Structures are given as C-alpha cells and as structure tokens.
Structure 1
Amino acid sequence: MQQDPGLKQLSTAQSVTSLSVSSDQYAPRPTSIDHTGLSESLLIDLLMKHLLNGGVLTKEQMVKRLGVTGGIIQDLLDSAKTLAWVENRQTTTDGQMRYALSLGGEIHAKQALSRNGYLGLAPVPLGQYSLVCKKQSSRANPITFEMLQKGLSALVLPKDLLFKIGPAMNSSRPVLIYGPPGTGKSYLCRHLNLTIGDDVLIPYALAIGNEVIQVYDPELHHRVDSEAFPASLDLGKGHDPRWIRCKRPLRITGGELTAEMLEVQFDSHSRTYMAPLQLKANNGILLLDDLGRQKISAKQLFNRWIIPMEERRDFLSLQSGEHFEIPFELILLFSTNLDPKELVDEAFLRRLGYKIHFDALDEQLYRKIWFQVCADLNLSCTEEVFLHLLIDYHKRYEKPLIPCYPRDLLGIMSDQISFMEFESVVTPSLIDSAWSIYFV
C-alpha cells in the first residue's frame, strides 16, 4: 500500500456531499421553548450567562449565541424581565433594542455560572440526539465495492484487501487490522472515511437534565455550513442551529489513550463537562492506533467496551453520579503491529468480528508505488535503477517489499539531491546511500 504524505483529498465530485435525508427533517428548527426539549430554567440561565459575558446585547446577537429563534429569545427575555433580571438599554442606530442584566440578574447569572460554566449554543436534549444519531448511521447506506474503490483510488493496495475491508465497514462489529510495521494499516484507516463521504449533524452540546456536555470539537468536527444563521431572527429555513453540519468525524488515538478519556470529563476550574472520545466520534470512525501501546491495557479497554461493541450503546455518568445511555454508533477500528493473541484472549478476538492481516506487497504493486512516489517528488528513475534496488538490496538482504519503503527511501534521496544540488534523477549511488542511512 502506498504511504504518501502528499495524498490529495477527494474532489467534491468523488464524494457524496449531502445527508441522505434532509437535515431539517432530522432536526427541524424549534419554534417554542417546549419544542427545544429543554426546561425554561436551563435556557434562562444560559441567556443570563451570555448577557453577563457580553454586557449589552441585541436580540439578534442573542439568537446567534444561543442558536434559537428570535421568538424563543423574546419569551425568555419576557420571563427574565418579570423576574427583574433584565433591563432595556438604548437602541442601536438601526433601531434594534439592546438588553443588559440588572443587579439582581447579574447576581443570578454569577450563581448560574458557578454551578455550570458552560457558555455556548443551547444544548440538544439527549433523547433527540439518540434518535438523530441512529438515523445518521453510516450503515444506513452500505458501502459498495465501487464506492470503496473510488474512495481509495489514490492508494495502491492489493485488490483482495478491498473484498475484506468493504464488508467490515458495513458490519456492526469492530475491526482489527494487524501486521508488520510499515504495511499501511494506519494509513488506510485514516482514509476510510473518504469512502463514506457524506455529512452528518453534530450537536454543539448535550443536555442531561440541567447539566450540559460540550460535544462539538472544531479540531475533530469539520463543519461544512459556513453560515449557520441567516439574517432573519425567525430562522425559518434550514436545520436546528444547535446542530453543526460536519463531515463524518475521524477520531484517531494512539499511545496517549487513558481510561479517563473514555468517560465524561469534568473540569472543576471552569465547571464544564467535555464529551469522551467515543461520543465525539459517533456517526464516524474511531481508530485506536498501535493497540497494545496505550496507557490503558488492551484487556481493560475491551472490558470497558464489551457492551458498546455488542449492543451499540454506551453508559456514561456525570460528576453527580447520574448515569445515562448514549448510542455507540460508529465504525470502530483497531490497528496493531503486535500479535493479536498476545494482546487479548480468544473470547475477545471473537467479539472483534473482522480480523484483517496486512503484509508485504508483491513486486508489481511495489513497483507501482515506487514510480508513483517518484512522480510525486518530481524524481526520474529508470527500470534498470529500480532493479538495482530490488535485486541488490531487497533480495540480497531478504528485506520484504513493505509499502512504506518507497516513500522513506525516495524521501532521503530527495533530501540529498536538494542538499548537493544534483539533478532530480535516482541513481544507483543515491540508492546505496539512502539504504545505508535508512536501515540499521
């Protein structure tokens, strides 16, 4: 398999760029406080915190901060005024009313902030999230051989791997990819979400009772809607802005994984909750790279996820001890260089469902990768020089044809050419030098 860091993203024409069902059907805009699925007290507290943070705000600014309609904001302001928490201020030059906290409102906002430091869009109730998450499952539109072939067209890999990987992607079972280092396991996993290619709705935050857990992570969730809020305060069209339309997430974790990362995390300083990695990866792919090298043992990990892997639901808890259930609706991939039998016993291996072995390439595929990397690096190489590498080094020293070698060896040669100001031509002497540098 090719391991080329310069792999280009698929073009828009190569991927599906819309939800299979209209997003406003999945999550229509709520038109009243009741329709949000949230308590009025939670919304008022959130509005008070935003006013405390913003000082003086117009209704339009509050709409954008909370992600609810102007009508809902007006209802919340009316309730807050009845409690003498909000005051009118001088209008803007274009006639918009401005609002600020009263002294009593400021006291209430600070108390609300001390209980829960969340400051963002209004959250989505857990029940609604569970329904939408299940509807958006990637398994609702199974991957075909043609889709997989097109999605991975920039990679060079044995065709028989496609016949193993495709069904595994459609399965509800976890997938273990194993084999020697450098065979392209992690590289393939990092590009599998390109084969799905569509968009999903990610909630900015979840409401568990009156507690709020932030889910949206801009480093992981790549939004595709550049502007979630039209100019109108009514927000009459499109999906509920509390949901962010994003590409299906790909969450990768390796040796840094700890048991704490699998649970809801509470920051006692900011008084905020953050979602665990599997919740952030829902409706996408979660890759646990280098299985067996994490700070949590493979056995502990599988024990933690026995129920999620089999029943596609997970159980989490809050600082208060309150437990709740979330969907475990993702493609779970494990990648390792180690012997699977040394990591876990046979009972756990059976639960993984798909075990796909990666190994060295044949000469034809290795040659294809070699000359493709040459083209990517603007290097010229003759068949005679390539045979020098194959016969005098790989065969002589019994080095298998591992997919990462072309990228690594040619990368060293490219560095040498730049330093010595040579012509961009691969020569036997450059191969000799690169081989001696790369292999111990």
Structure 2
Amino acid sequence: MLRLSTDSSSPNSNRPNINQEASELAPRPTSIQDTGIQESVLLELMLKHLLNGGVLTKSQLVKKMGITGGIIQALFDKAKGLAWVENRQSTADGQMRYALSESGDRYAKQASMKSGYRGLVPVPLAQYSTICRMQSSRRNPITFKMLQNALKALVLPNDLLHKIGPALNSSRPILIYGPPGTGKSYLCRNLNATLGDTVLIPYAIAVGTEIIQVYDPQLHHAVDNAIELDQLDLVKGHDPRWIECKRPLRITGGELSAEMLEVQFDSHSRTYMAPIQLKANNGILLLDDLGRQRISAKQLFNRWIIPMEEQRDFLSMQSGEHFEIPFELILLFSTNLNPKELVDDAFLRRLGYKIHFDALDEPLYRKIWFQVCEEQRLSCSEEMYQHLLNDYHLLLEKPLIPCYPRDLLGIMADQISFMELKPVVTKALIAEAWSIYFVQG
C-alpha cells in the first residue's frame, strides 16, 4: 500500500519510498468524532442515502458512506431518538433493515434540497491539506537515471532530460515551448511514469457543512488492491473515504475556461465539484496549447500568481465562504507560440523553468524512423532512408521533426494495406505520403 514496486523492471524501482503506510497516513475512524465531520452532516447524509435507497441494512450503508458499522449504529441511535428512522423486517440472514419514518422522510427531502450530495462521508479540509502535503512528489526527488529509465521508450536528447529532471523536482511551474510536432505534449503525457507511486485521493472534502466531490473516476485511476469496506473489521486497512490511486495526470487544452479554476456548483444536482487544480493535486496538471484557451494566458497567470509562488490556492463556495487548499502539483504549460507574445517578462520569470523543444539531429531522427518502421512492420532500406533525408528533408528544407516518422510511415502503411502491397518502403510510397501529409504551395 503506497509503496513503490520493488520489481527491478519498474521504471522507478530505485526510487526511495517516502510515503507512509496508508493506514498510518489515514487511519480508519472508529467514532463520529474521529471522522472530523459534524454529527449533523453525517446524519443528513445517512438520511439522504435512506431516502434514495428506500430500505437499507447497516452493511449497505457502510459501503455507501465509507464508515464503520459502529459509527452507523451510533447514527441510527441518534436518528431513532429523533424519530427519523424505523426498523423494518430483517433479511433472510438476520440483518436488520432500516427505513425513514414520515418525519425522517420530510427532513431528508429538506436536506436534499440544500445539498444533493450522496456519496462517501467527506474528509475534513484540514486532514486533506495535511495528507496532500505529505504525499508531495517533491519529497521523493527524481534522479537522472530514474528519468532515463522511466522514459526509455521515448527517443529524447540527453540534454533535454537534464533540463526536465530538475524542473520536476522544483516547486516552480514549467513552460515547454517550440514548433508543432516536436514532442512537447507527447513527453508531458508520459512524465507521470517517472513518479510511479500511488497516493490517497479523498472521495470528497468538507468545508464547514458544505461538501465538494474530488474523486473523478475518469482522472483518478484506483489501484486494484483497494480494500473492501467491512463493518466487522474495524482495524484492517486505511480510511475508506480515501481511495488509493495512481498519481493523477490532468490535461486540459483549448476548452479551459476561468470557471474551471473555481469550485463549481451544479444547480440541477445541487452538488459542488472540485476545480481542475484540486483534482490534479499530488500529480501533474498539463495546460496544453497555452494561448489557445478560452481564458487568456494573462488572466490565467494573474489567477495563479499566489498558487505558483506559495503552493497554496484560495477558493470560495457559493455562499461566499473562502478557504485555502494546497497547490501541490507539477504544473506544466505547453505552447507552439512565442512565450514573449503570450505574457510579459515578469510572468515569464515566475514560470521558473522554460524549456525549448526543437527539431532533432539526424542520428535521433534515424532512430525514431527505424523504430516506427519496426512498430509498423515495414521494411526500409538504408537507400530509401537516405532518399527521404536528401531528396525531401534537405532539398525541401523540412526540419527533422519527431512526429514526421510516425505520421509519414502511418500513411505508407495505410497505402500498403489498401493496395495490397509488400510491406516495404519505396520511393513511390515516400512520394505519395509526402504529398498527402504536407500542404502544397
């Protein structure tokens, strides 16, 4: 749990483990007080689950709320004292079943009008902040050998690794810029492999009596060994309100808007959803195609001046209540545009690391070309490669951009399949692929 793999084949097998055992980091609460959540919030959540489920057993509520049977029983006792819950006929295996009374039904509906959240019991904001900072990837520095091993499937110049590695270990944002097709986004999408370990992500956090859902199954990939909730086992495993996941990688591009940086309230479901930076905490947030978002680069940097410099962000609820969260992530910006045309020098200085991507030298381009040939199961002679190099790239002054081999050979493979040709790169195939891929005139 939360330990890095010791398998020597793992890209980070030599990376020291700084994470505590999950059960130590987030011990399972055994009382209402241990949850850190107000009793009234727990009661309302339980009543909403009963309203939605009709008649439920204690074990069913354990799974729906992520707290032990002992805590559920304490909530039942309180709800019965208020005449909100009634006993129903037991199941065949002897489990007591519970349902709302008439007054409990009214109260549950009132609670649902105020907040539509029905999920696991949230964790308190203070606990979230503490655990988030303890899981910082920067507590576990990356070395050159680790980065090289993690990205060994990619063809990258060593000088680029020497720039990327220290940037990942720093607390400063990283700007990656250069012409299209030079591998900026591709590299960023693979950087998560260098982190390798797992972290605890809360299903939801509580800010006072309000609840914000954080866990997103499309972003947070839970590990296979997640512990089943068991009301009889009050000791084994970590707090089930936290889900063990791979470190998140959140990618956003032209769809990014100012609203996505703030807590969002869905008036239809009456629930709060976390902004992208909160969901990406303890992982990587990549803002691809900087300068093409619905929010301008200047507005974005103005919004994140404090988070980028102090590693903390300030958010607010619909009620106007403000609160602080950690800004504990690796922040990457990628752009094809000239950075000086996006923001002024003061903002560029705040970015810390600015890494330029450009065309490859011939040996690296060759390596990619023949690597893609192998992947596509195409045969390419040295003569054909030199023909491509001299009669197309050099003659037509096309730089050796990393994306060209995959794109050109992909077109050739399509032509071969369609025309039922032998899987061999020829002059005719090169000419056809080149004319299709590049805009003429």
TM surpasses 0.5? yes
Alignment of 1:35-434 (within 5 A): 35-434=34-433
AA partner of residue 75 (structure 1): A
* Local SS of the residue matching 2:10: helix
Pairwise CA RMSD of aligned residues?
1.4
> By how many angstroms is 1:269 displaced?
1.2
> By how many angstroms is 1:233 displaced?
3.0
Contact 2:68 2:231 in 1 (8 A): no
Q: Which stretch of structure 1 is more off in the superposition, 11-20 or 54-63?
A: 11-20
- Distance, in Å, in 2 between the alignment partners of 1:225 and 1:56 is 30
- Distance, in Å, in 2 between the alignment partners of 1:26 and 1:311 is 24
AA partner of residue 439 (structure 1): F
AA partner of residue 29 (structure 2): P
> By how many angstroms is 1:230 displaced?
4.3
- Distance, in Å, in 1 between the alignment partners of 2:160 and 2:324 is 35
AA partner of residue 14 (structure 1): P
> By how many angstroms is 1:86 displaced?
0.6
- Distance, in Å, in 2 between the alignment partners of 1:65 and 1:234 is 16
- Distance, in Å, in 2 between the alignment partners of 1:164 and 1:351 is 17
Contact 1:177 1:357 in 2 (8 A): yes
* Residue in structure 2 matched with residue 22 of structure 1 by the alignment: 21
* Local SS of the residue matching 1:228: coil
Q: Which stretch of structure 1 is more off in the superposition, 339-348 or 20-29?
A: 20-29
Contact 1:19 1:200 in 2 (8 A): no
CA pair 227-134 structure 1, distance change in 2 beyond 3 A: closer
Contact 1:179 1:357 in 2 (8 A): yes
1:13 equivalent in alignment to 2:10? yes
CA pair 206-12 structure 1, distance change in 2 beyond 3 A: farther
**Does 1 or 2 have the higher relative contact order (CA < 8 Å, sep 6+)?**
1
> By how many angstroms is 1:428 displaced?
1.1
* Local SS of the residue matching 2:175: strand
Unaligned segments of structure 2, at least 5 residues: 1-6
> By how many angstroms is 1:403 displaced?
0.1
- Distance, in Å, in 1 between the alignment partners of 2:316 and 2:403 is 42
Post-superposition CA distance 1:105-129 (Å, at most 9, x none): 1111100000000000000000000
- Distance, in Å, in 1 between the alignment partners of 2:198 and 2:119 is 22
- Distance, in Å, in 2 between the alignment partners of 1:46 and 1:228 is 22
Contact 1:134 1:329 in 2 (8 A): yes
* Local SS of the residue matching 1:315: strand
* Local SS of the residue matching 1:307: helix
- Distance, in Å, in 1 between the alignment partners of 2:234 and 2:199 is 20
- Distance, in Å, in 2 between the alignment partners of 1:315 and 1:11 is 41
AA partner of residue 40 (structure 2): S
- Distance, in Å, in 2 between the alignment partners of 1:122 and 1:230 is 13
Contact 1:205 1:214 in 2 (8 A): yes
- Distance, in Å, in 1 between the alignment partners of 2:263 and 2:341 is 30
* Local SS of the residue matching 1:334: strand
> By how many angstroms is 1:12 displaced?
7.0
CA pair 80-127 structure 1, distance change in 2 beyond 3 A: same
CA pair 119-171 structure 1, distance change in 2 beyond 3 A: same
- Distance, in Å, in 1 between the alignment partners of 2:8 and 2:68 is 35
CA pair 338-283 structure 1, distance change in 2 beyond 3 A: same
TM-score by length of 1: 0.96
- Distance, in Å, in 2 between the alignment partners of 1:49 and 1:146 is 52
Identity %, equivalent residues: 75
Contact 2:176 2:355 in 1 (8 A): yes
> By how many angstroms is 1:231 displaced?
3.8
Contact 2:62 2:229 in 1 (8 A): no
Contact 1:229 1:235 in 2 (8 A): no
